[in-house]
Amino acid sequence: MSSIEVLIEEKDVRNRIKELAAVLSEKYKDGDVLLIGILNGCVFFMTALAQEMSIPVEIDFMAAQSYGASTESSGHVLITKELDRSLKGKNVIIAEDILDTGRTLSLIKEMILDQEPASVEVVALLDKPDRRVNSFQADYVGFKIPNVFAVGWGLDYDQKFRDLTFVGVYKEED
């Protein structure tokens, strides 16, 4: 048996995304913003963020895998989709569902910096600072959460529960 408990209610998630969108819209009002999401987890957060932003943004995606069908990170990050456009002159904002060990985002940020965009910042809906294995920090975080396994708003357990509209804690029970 397993269960899911509500950690962050839908209205709180949506309000926080609006706040992040307002901050980013002000900071980047001079334009040329490219939001880069990391599939699959980014989709619900990134699209909500883009729609709440009051400035035009372009979107693109990379894909990375670090977890398989488990709640423990494998420790390896596999890039399964790269960008196929130039980042020259773009103000890149990387959007991610959760910052956990920091391995995925530190690798992806390095790959993006190699392409010499005008700027790069990182926004993550959730952050589990206790789990970090490196010094990586996001520039903007929706919510800091404890070391639990979160689902919903793009976060999955074995590809399930990404579409939950609240952030929940997934628990295995016996």
What is the distance between the alpha carbons of residues 174 and 160, in angstroms, rounded to a whole number? 20
Find the shortest distance in angstroms from Cβ 62 to ligand IMP.
11
Strands (E), 75-136: 78-81, 91-99, 119-127
In this structure, how many other beta carbons lie within 10 angstroms of the beta carbon of residue 142? 25
Helix, strand, coil percent values for the chain (each to nearest 5): 25, 35, 40
Residue with tokens 């773009």: 90
Q: Can you tell me which of 104, 117, 120, 138 binds ligand IMP, judged by CB under 6 A?
A: 104
What is the distance between the alpha carbons of residues 14 and 20, in angstroms, rounded to a whole number? 10
CA 18 to chain centre: 15
Identify which of residues 41 and 142 has a Cβ nearer to Mg ion in the complex.
41
Which span sits near ligand IMP by CB under 6 A: 7-15, 49-57, 115-123, 149-157? Answer: 149-157
By the 8 A CB rule, do 59 and 50 touch? yes
Name the binder of 102 from Mg ion, ligand IMP, none, CB < 5-8 A by kind: ligand IMP
Residue in 84, 97, 100, 174 annotated catalytic? 100
By CB under 6 A, residue 102 contacts ligand IMP: yes
Which span sits near ligand IMP by CB under 6 A: 2-10, 26-34, 49-57, 103-111? Answer: 103-111
Q: Can you tell me which of 7, 53, 155, 164 binds ligand IMP, judged by CB under 6 A?
A: 155
Residue 30 among the catalytic residues: no
| Residue whose CB is nearest to Mg ion in the complex, by number | 41
Q: 64-83 mask for Mg ion (x: CB under 5 A)?
A: --------------------
Q: Can you tell me which of 4, 17, 35, 41 binds Mg ion, judged by CB under 5 A?
A: 41
CA 25 to chain centre: 18
- Which residues are designated catalytic? 100
